[in-house]
Amino acid sequence: MLYKILIVDDEPLVKDLFIDLFKKEDCQTIACGTGEEALIELKKESFDVVLLDIKLPGISGLEVLKNIRDTDKKLPVIMITGFGFDEELITKSKQLGCSGYIGKNMPVAQIIITFKQFVKDALEKI
């Protein structure tokens, strides 16, 4: 197994796609649909990386990120959003300590490559 990934996205079909895509990459995945669920999941288990959608019902991805960083400075968290490369969102995510940022408007193959690159960089820093 390459990584154990927590996928946080409220769109069931997007979640399913990520699960299938990462299965092919030999990753183990657990998926949830809200920020609240994600925080509970993170308390229960340990993960190598979190793939976190920014726009979520309830608390937003940015708030989840802030919450994670309050207790864990090292866990790689990659933000993902349907808004594409929005400078404001990128700046905020960086300020809150994300490990990477991916737009859903990128071609899928590129998303996987970029994701793996971000995780590798983040783990090397540790």
Partner 1 sequence: MGVRFPSPAKINMKTDVKMELDNLVENAAVIVLYLDTKGNILLCNKKTESVLELNRTEIINKNWLNVLFNDANSVMKREMFKAVLEDSINYKRAKDFRCHILNKNGVEKLISWNVSPILDKNNRIEASALFGQDITEIEERETSVKNIDDSLKNIFSSIKEYALYVINLDSNITYFGMGSEAMLGWNKRDIIFKHASILHNAGDPAFNLALILEHVRLFGKYEIEAELITKNQEVVPALLTVNQFLDSAGKLIGYIFIAKDMTERKKLEFQIFQAEKLAALGQLSAGMAHEINNPLFVISGRLEMLKDEELNQKVKDNLMLIDSQVDRIRKLVDRILKFARKSTLVLEAINVNEVIEMVLPLINYNKMSIAKIEIEKTFEKNMPEIKGDLHQLQEVFLNILINAYQSMPNGGKVKIITSNFKNLYAQIQIIDTGIGIASKHLKDIFMPFFSTKSDGTGLGLSICHNIIKNHNGSIELESQINQGSTFTIRLPFI
**With binding defined as CB under 8 A, does residue 95 bind partner 1?**
no
Find residue 28's DSSP bridge partners.
Answer: 4
Out of 26, 45, 87, 124, which residue is the one contacting partner 1 (CB under 8 A)?
Answer: 87
- Positions in 45-84 near partner 1 (CB under 8 A): 55, 81-84
Q: Name residue 24's amino acid.
A: K
Tell me the torsion sign for CA atoms 75, 67, 98, 113: positive
CB of 70 to partner 1, least distance (A): 26
CB of 95 to partner 1, least distance (A): 13
Interaction of residue 19 with partner 1, rule CB under 8 A: no
Taking a C-beta distance cutoff of 8 angstroms, is the pair 43, 21 a contact? no
DSSP-derived secondary structure for 10-25 = S-HHHHHHHHHHHHHT
Q: Tokens at residue 30, please?
A: 């657990």
Least distance between partner 1 and beta carbon 111 (Å): 8
Does residue 123 sit in helix, strand or coil?
helix
Q: Which position among 70, 71, 109, 126 is part of the footprint of partner 1 (CB under 8 A)?
A: 109
Which residues form the interface with partner 1 (CB under 8 A)?
11, 13-14, 17, 20-21, 24, 55, 81-84, 86-88, 91, 104-105, 107-109
